[in-house]
Amino acid sequence: MPISLKQTLGVAAMGLGLAAGSAQAADSIKVGTMAGPESDIMQTAASVAKEQYDLDVEIIEFSDYVTPNAALDDGSLDANAYQHAPYMEAMVKDRGYDFAVAGKTFVYPIGAYSAQYDDIDALPDGATIALPNDPTNEGRALILLHDKGLIELNDPENLEATPIDVVDNPHDYDFEEIEAAQMPRVLRDVDLAFINSTFTQPAGLTLDDALIKEGPESPYVNLIVVRDGDQDREAIQNLVKAYQSDVVAEKAEELFGAGAVPGWK
């Protein structure tokens, strides 16, 4: 049966409508971050993404390290930006996530802070030390104590070390495992607390206040993580380019000072 010109135009218009709808969907993504200054940095990246790539970035804030990966896995997010590779790999191994790395963000050095002592050498025997209770960050803290000569680990290369792996504790330290986001709140209740830079700025701390800290050579660069296969999406690639911009690096320096080192340079 012949197709009329009116029908042809209608089909074409419908096709254009579908194409426009697809483009609109491709130009809007949801990204998970930690509430606080990391969210502020992502907001700056979102502004760059909108201005340069007409990409709308909706930022979803979280206050724990577990939920953003669950949300990415179930499709509630298109990407998240809060974790380093050792943590992601531990979560993938533990929970079977099918994730991929789309790009690098910043190294946020972890440091040991104290409200009671100004020098690590003043830390007394039997001191209570708060460690992050999440995979790798706990090992990260223990490795710093090992490198400082305060404890001995059975394997200082083990990024997932826990207090069970401490083979020599000459100062009889008492280790308390606490959620990373709660560290600033318990700082005055313990002798020493290992706090990620993510949480130091809201607590009025800087890396200069740390009694022990990682250097800029730290391998724990944070990542923009997506479901495997999405790393090649144009919207994701544009998000990465927007994040890895000078404007975002300047915002991070404003918020963190030396506590945020661009991992893509």
pLDDT digits (tens, 9 = 90+) for 4-35: 333 333 433 334 343 333 333 458 999 999 99
8 Å CB contact between 29 and 75: no
Residue 122 DSSP label:
G
**What per-residue confidence (pLDDT) applies to 216?**
63
Cβ neighbour number for residue 20 with a 10 Å cutoff: 10
Torsion region of 144: left, alpha or beta (phi above 0 gives left; psi -120 to 50 gives alpha): alpha
Average pLDDT score over residue span 50-65: 97
**What per-residue confidence (pLDDT) applies to 217?**
67
pLDDT digits (tens, 9 = 90+) for 152-199: 999 998 988 999 999 999 999 999 999 998 999 999 999 999 998 878
* Residue 40 confidence (pLDDT) above 90: yes
Average pLDDT score over residue span 23-49: 88
How far is 145 from 196, CA to CA, in rounded Å? 15
In the predicted model, what is the mean pLDDT of the chain?
A: 89
* Residue 215 confidence (pLDDT) above 80: no
**What per-residue confidence (pLDDT) applies to 265?**
85
Strands, E, within 6-45: which ranges?
A: 28-34
- Phi, psi (degrees; rounded to nearest 5) at 223: -135, 155
Model pTM score: 0.75
**What per-residue confidence (pLDDT) applies to 136?**
81
How far is 140 from 110, CA to CA, in rounded Å? 8
- Amino acid (one-letter) located at 225: V
Residue 123 DSSP label:
P
